[in-house]
Structure 1
Amino acid sequence: MQFTTIIATSILAVMATAAPVAVPAVEARAQQLIDLWQDSGFLGLKFTGSSDVGKCVNLPSNFNDRVSSGKAKPGFRCTTWVDANCVGTGFSFNASPGASSFPSWINDKSSSWKCVAA
């Protein structure tokens, strides 16, 4: 009887330690998605934007209405908009060749950006 109790207790102890443990969910981290320059030809001050894929981001004040060229990071397609919150007319570009010179209608007029998987 005592031997049976010891065996049963041992089996229950092993089963309890082998029980599945909840793994915390992995949070999506913001990643670098876009490079924007204040001058054409990928020159001048450079802004590297980090965000979650598909999330609209407003440009910081030192780049708002001051962007003239840009590149998406490899594997992404990015759009800049003339208004904050990704509203208004947008201009899209990929990583290669990027946009070495924004068209006149959006040159120095971008206020927000968003990138999606290409």
Structure 2
Amino acid sequence: MHFSTILLAALTSTSTIAAPAPAPAPNTLSARATPLIDLWQDSGFLGLKFTGKSNVGTCENLAGSGFNNNVSSGKAKPGFRCTIWVNKDCDGTGFSFNANPGSNQFPSWIDNKSSSWKCVAA
């Protein structure tokens, strides 16, 4: 009788094993940076060109790019509208432009004074 009690206890303990936890949801891939803006050092879309890549709607600073406080004209990539700011972190007053015609010459208050940019869907 003692043996059958042990056997019964062993059988019931194996049948009460908990089911494995569900697998965690897979991580979603973040959107890849997209070319959104072209900025030139000189007016008329001349001189060295900076192509800014980012996620749509994300502010980017120009510090470290060689173009901080050093752009005079720009175009958004087709389908986007871009804004540049005098201050970093897209703070303060900005100047916006589209892909066509873009801005052949930035206004004097931001010409060679821009420090950040952001683009959104047009």
TM-score calculated relative to the size of structure 1: 0.78
Give the gaps of 5 or more residues in structure 1.
1-21
Q: For residues 1-51 of structure 1, what are the alpha-carbon distances to aligned partners after superposition, in whole Å with 9 as ceiling and x for unaligned?
A: xxxxxxxxxxxxxxxxxxxxx765342111000000000000001000000
Distance 2:60 2:26 in 1: 31
Length-normalised TM-score, structure 2: 0.76
The aligned counterpart of 1:77 is 81
Give the alignment of 1:46-85 within 5 angstroms. 46-61=49-64, 62-85=66-89
SS at match of 1:88: coil
Residue 40 (structure 2) pairs with residue 37 (structure 1):
yes
**Partner residue in 2 for 1:96:** 100
Corresponding residue for residue 8 of structure 1 = none
Tell me, yes or no, if structure 1 residue 25 matches structure 2 residue 20. Answer: no
Larger strand proportion of the pair: 1
Residue number in structure 2 paired with 1:15: none
Structure with larger Rg: 2
